[in-house]
Amino acid sequence: MSRKGLYGLASKAGEVAAVNWYPGHMASATKAIRERIKVVDLVVEVRDARIPLSSANSELQDLLERKKRLIVFNKMDLANPNMMLKWESHFEDHNQRHVFVNAHQTRSVRKMLDVVWDFLREKLAKEPTLLLMIVGIPNVGKSALINTLFRHAHALNKAEQEPLKKAKVGPLPGVTQHISGFKIGEKPSVYVLDTPGVLVPNIDNIDTGLKLALTGAVKDSVVGEDRVARYLLSVLNSRSAHLRWTPELAQAESDTSEIGENVRKIITQSCLKFDGNLGNKEDMECLVDEQMNLFRRIFKVPAQLGDDGWIRVSKQLLKLYRTGRLGRFTLDPVPEVDRDYVRFENE
């Protein structure tokens, strides 16, 4: 794979068409969701807080809007706090019930449950049993959310609760491939349908596709680790990420590793001395080329490895981003607000 072409996906339309975004199990899962959603009391649509719009499955939105729905934005610990406030205002303006959570924190999930119970207050008064369905694209944390719900329910109902069967959790998209039912509550009886992550068959917008790949909804190997890493650097550079990095971020580094701090220093120093135009494609590619070469050295990847070496460099960069060690970034800008025509910028 050539390292050149920061915007390679946009310039090579044939390659985009050949990318398999939609494995076979997703088609059958989408059909099963459409069939079973008719009987559920509430749909919990899980999205990624870093891409609140890009992580929505557009083909299911018409169906979801006809049901009681709560949108849960997971991975809030990786999203820009200022942008979360703006996104909250956006969804409130559109009367869409939502909550931001970290699926690995029980306290955060309890907050979500409070919203669920409030949403279903009338239903709870009439029905002793509730059925929820968890839906979302791959790797947004649906299974992690369910597992935390299990732990919470088990703590509340130790004496009565049956042994809990946890949902599968993995680092790669597509771990859950069949719809499964789980009991998470006794009084009232609450059942959850866990569904596989499903994407739309075709992702026409290249920027959306790269955001999905960067946040892990699409396997890196499908798009190419090198392309995704270079897209990440273009985002960090164009948004002047180095101006928002704080001493607290450096202090959060592991005592045994300074790699994140070293990467941030390289990005900062290269951006400060850069005299090109970041809005120019060729200038941006030159800056990214320079940064990738510097990263190869600090990651101690031999130059003779060729493309395999660049994949190793890219994987390390992506891991740093996905664990929050390059800062908290929201990739989707908030759409224009109709009433005052203001476009919020990602701060």
Identity (one letter) of the amino acid at 291? Answer: Q
Query: How far is residue 340's CA from residue 267's CA, in Å, rounded to a whole number?
Result: 36
Best CA proximity match to 219, nearest among 308, 296, 147, 315? 315
Cα 198 to Cα 193: distance, rounded to the nearest angstrom: 15
β-strands 69-74, 129-136 pairing = unpaired
Measured distance CA(198)–CA(46) in Å, rounded:
12
Phi/psi for 80 (5° steps) reads -70, 120
Task: Tell me the C-alpha distance between 326 and 162, whole Å.
Answer: 42
Extract the annotated binding site: 74-77, 197
Residues near 163 by beta carbon (within 8 Å), at least 6 away in sequence? none
Nearest C-alpha neighbor of 238 from the set 284, 282, 193: 284
Residues making up the binding site for GTP: 74-77, 197
Comparing CA positions, the residue from 117, 115, 175 lying closest to residue 142 is: 175
Omega of the bond leading into 333 within 30 degrees of 0 (cis): no
